[in-house]
Amino acid sequence: MNIEIPDKLFFKIGEVASITGVKPHVLRYWESEFGNFSPSKSRTKQRQYQKKDIELVLTLKDLLYTQGFTIAGARKAVRSSKKNQNSKKSSQNNHELLLDVREELRSLRSFLN
């Protein structure tokens, strides 16, 4: 699944369809089914997808078409994937904080000795 996404800020639905191989009506359906997938709209009411939206479309396409997930199963997989990413970030932040505290304690100990 190595698809090259052009370096643009916004993409129209037709561009997303050609990049991902998913038809526009399917993209609109997925918007209604997946709450975390909602492209912004321009003043002319056209959908404006961002790179993160295209990455999510590619993930959904893989889950639904390649791995055989149902819509409900794909929804759960996407949610759990986001939770895992958030917990990894928080554990990494905690680790960095502990390292900072350790360094402060060492400097305090050397100051007191």
Which residue segments constitute the domains of the chain, with CATH numbers given?
13-81 (1.10.1660.10)
Q: Residue 48 in contact with residue 40, Cβ under 8 Å? A: yes
Q: Does the pTM of the predicted model rise above 0.75?
A: no
Render pLDDT for 62-80 as a digit per residue (tens, 0 to 9).
999 999 999 999 988 888 8
| pLDDT beneath 70, residues of the chain | 1, 82-92
Q: Which residues pair with 40 in a beta bridge?
A: 48
Kindly report the length of the chain: 113
The two three-digit tokens of residue 32, written as one number: 């209604």
